[in-house]
Amino acid sequence: MRTQVGIVGAGPAGLMLAHLLSLQGIESIVIETGKRTDVEHRVRAGVLEQGTADLLDACGAGGRMRSEGVVHDGVVLRFRGEDHRIDLGALTGRGVTVYGQQEIVKDLIAIRLRDGHPILFEVSNVQLHDIKREHPWISFLLDGASIRIDCDVIAGCDGVDGVSRDSIPKRSLTTYSRAYPFAWLGIVATVAPSAADIVYCHHERGFAFLSTRSPAVSRLYLQVAPEERIGDWPDTRIWEELETRLAAHGWSLHDGPITGKGITSMRSLVVEPMQFGRLFLAGDAAHVVPPTGAKGMNLAIREAGILAEALTMWFRTGDISPLDAYSARCLRRVWRAQHFAWWMTSMLHRFPDSDASQVQLQLAQLDYTVNSPAAAKSLAENYVGYEWASE
């Protein structure tokens, strides 16, 4: 097989890149280790920055997002049992759209298959070759057969546990990594959201988070210890703990059947640069952001946009400068997102070594953030997605 761009991974980054390239008449083949149904049902992120929603719209993939997603123009910080609303709309003129990552994946797969472009699911033993040379290639197994795809460029969009990042010699990468001393227990429940806005809650027993997926489906999280096992959290215990942490004056939590639950570790990772020869990394293959800032999927989709633009220029005109600038342009956004996620995480979570004075410092920061227009605006412009005036 031969293609212009070999894309490893059918998550948001890989599928978005494939779609944007096809709109420019550039061929690609997407390979994916998972089954189509599994990829389409992975419940993960769901908060889209305005720029991400705009990009989905602009490339014709935003139809269902616009009809089924919910636009939020505010976000609530809850502490000492009281709500403080950050008015994203008034402070920035923009908002966020809540629409599940798995729905975006479904939409992009449907578009690609409708357009007759290939996605090869359930591949195994994926290996990247000659990535430093002009003719890189990918080998893998599909239905027991060995397959080789010759490419001009490979896009490594295979997430944090993929093979692309590890195909780059370690000495050529700088890795920044940090593990947080807690995890998030997340649930999906068939119940109308208990609040009109997304709620980030500081509590002495640990952080709690209330979000939505649709008018009838809620997504909630609890900070837990990293070694917690989901088997130790029956549904009643989860609802009781959520009720305790989220308690607020004149407010009550609606519970309902839990349809999915899991524990995700909290960590951050960045590798630099995001390019090695003819291999370009995008999304979680290059970085992991703690979910507190809701940035992971946004970075993945926006990087697909930047890479598609650079590849289009190169294939059309031979100008390689946008491709050479790809890594630095993305990393500027990545570090902004990492800083925001770290800041939100530090302000809202209970650290194992937290003493009374650290809790007071967190509360002082929260108090300042919701009362100072400048501080509130800083949170708001990062939450809806900070756009650099010059890129």
Ligand X SMILES: Cc1cc2nc3c(=O)[nH]c(=O)nc-3n(C[C@H](O)[C@H](O)[C@H](O)COP(=O)(O)OP(=O)(O)OC[C@H]3O[C@@H](n4cnc5c(N)ncnc54)[C@H](O)[C@@H]3O)c2cc1C
Which residues are known to be catalytic?
72, 200, 291, 295, 383
Segment holding 337, helix H or strand E: helix 321-348
Q: In angstroms, what is the minimal distance from the CB of 385 to ligand X?
A: 13
Least Cβ distance, residue 164 to ligand X (angstroms)? 7
The answer to whether the CB of 187 falls within 8 A of the CB of 40 is no
Give the nearer residue to ligand X in terms of CB position, either 32 or 103.
Answer: 32
C-beta closer to ligand X: residue 206 or 291: 291
Question: What's the CA gap between 122 and 342, in Å, rounded?
Answer: 35
Q: What are phi and psi of 208, to 5 degrees?
A: -140, 155
- In the complex, what is the shortest distance from the CB of residue 303 to ligand X, in angstroms, rounded to a whole number? 8
By C-beta, is 95 or 186 nearer to ligand X?
186
Strands in 96-98's sheet, in edge-to-edge order, are 47-48, 96-98, 70-72
Positions touching ligand X (CB under 6 A) are 8-14, 31-34, 39, 44-45, 101, 126, 157-159, 162-163, 186, 264, 283-284, 291, 294, 296-297, 300
Q: How far is the CB of 127 from ligand X (least distance, A)?
A: 9
Q: Which is nearer to ligand X, 14 or 193 (CB)?
A: 14
Q: In angstroms, rounded to a whole number, what is the distance separating the alpha carbons of residues 378 and 382?
A: 6
Select from 107, 257, 228, 14 the least CA-distant residue to 5: 14
Say if strands 47-48 and 96-98 run parallel, antiparallel, or are unpaired.
antiparallel
How far is Cα 309 from Cα 17, in angstroms, rounded to an integer? 10
Closest CB to ligand X among residues 158, 241? 158
Instruction: Give the integer Cα–Cα distance in Å for 65 and 71.
Output: 10
Name 210's bridge partners. Answer: 199, 220
In the chain, beta strands by DSSP E: 5-8, 28-31, 47-48, 70-72, 75-79, 82-86, 96-98, 119-120, 124-129, 137-142, 145-150, 153-156, 174-189, 198-201, 208-214, 217-224, 258-272, 275-276, 279-281, 287-288
Q: How many degrees, rounded to 5, is the angle at CA 372 between CA 369 and CA 375?
A: 50
**What are the C-alpha distances in Å from 69 to residues 12, 215, 299?**
17, 9, 19
Which 3 state secondary structure label does DSSP give 360?
helix
126 or 279, CB closer to ligand X?
Answer: 126
Q: Which is nearer to ligand X, 162 or 193 (CB)?
A: 162
Min dist CB 353 to ligand X, Å, is 25
∠ CA(330), CA(335), CA(340), 5° rounding?
130
CB 286 to ligand X: min, Å:
8
Instruction: Using alpha carbons only, give the angle 129, 108, 130 rounded to the nearest 5 degrees.
Output: 5
Taking the complex as a whole, the smallest distance from the CB of residue 373 to ligand X amounts, in Å, to 27
